[in-house]
Amino acid sequence: MQNAHEIDFRILGEEMQMVEIELDPGETVIAEPGGMLMMDDSIDMQTIFGDGAQENQGFMGKLMGAGKRLLTGENLFMTAYTQTGVGKGRISFASPYPGKIIPVDLTQYEGKLICQKDAFLCAAKGTMVGIEFSRKLGRGFFGGEGFIMQKLEGDGMAFIHAGGYIIEKELRAGERLRVDTGCLVAFTRNVDYDIVFVKGIKNALFGGEGLFFATLTGPGKVWIQSLPFSRLADRVMSHAGGYGRKDEGSVLGGLGNLIDGDGW
């Protein structure tokens, strides 16, 4: 039996996309605060602790689940939108910057997807939005996604957003792919993720790609973005006369700007 609510959807637009979700009476979709674009008058909006996936866990359980979201830099609360009227109701969520909205049926990926902390847009109620700790210290200090990533678990539809053009790659068992740390969007549960040092001092200092790569080893599927928002913001700031950049998620903060290729 499916736990998550079944929702219909369609994605509109090219570079600035939106997803329109159709809800039957009683169906609910959850989203980050501020992502909603428009909705029918029959849809009720409610602020909730965490993702609302486990309603019977009690207040302290909900508080703990919501508190974990703070570790990923997300809001303590989420918003639930429920169709309370007769017939179908429609609600739309907009992408926060130029890129693509990626629909993910979690049942096709063994009920779990790991993604960068700001990729989540919305999902059917029943989807658990949690955190994924890295067991390898190097990922946390040098990875573009930092020590903590988000995990989406369940058996319903979820929607994530990424910048620029989105590349989807199926990795065979043992097949390895090296990716710029900031360009990694998401990967399935069986993909092994690690951080490696760029070989050669000249490559590291003058290659323009930073000191570290993310390595992804199959089997599984990975999603890669061509334009991380931090890179876009950096270019805008540089042309506007500003100095500095927002790092792509590394917990090293300012030091990350020195070792990342875009910081040179």
Please check the confidence at residue 3 and state whether its pLDDT lies above 80. Answer: no
| Max avg pLDDT among 50-64, 139-153, 176-190 | 176-190
Give the C-alpha separation, 208 to 170, whole Å.
27
Please say whether the beta carbons of 246 and 216 come within 8 A. Answer: no
User: 186 near 151, Cβ under 8 Å?
Assistant: no
pLDDT at 181: 78
From 166, 77, 157, select the one nearest 116 (Cα to Cα). 166
Which structural domains are found in the chain, ordered by start?
Answer: 8-263 (3.60.160.10)
| Residue-level pLDDT at 195 | 77
The residues that bridge with 77 in the sheet, in sequence order, are 49
What pLDDT, on the 0 to 100 scale, is given for residue 61? 57
pLDDT for 263 equals: 46
pLDDT confidence bin for 71, thresholds 50/70/90: low
- Its pTM stands at 0.78
Residue 220, pLDDT score: 96
* pLDDT surpassing 90 at residue 148: no
Least confident of 44-58, 166-180, 239-253: 239-253
For residues 233-250, average pLDDT:
58
Rounded average pLDDT over 160-185: 91
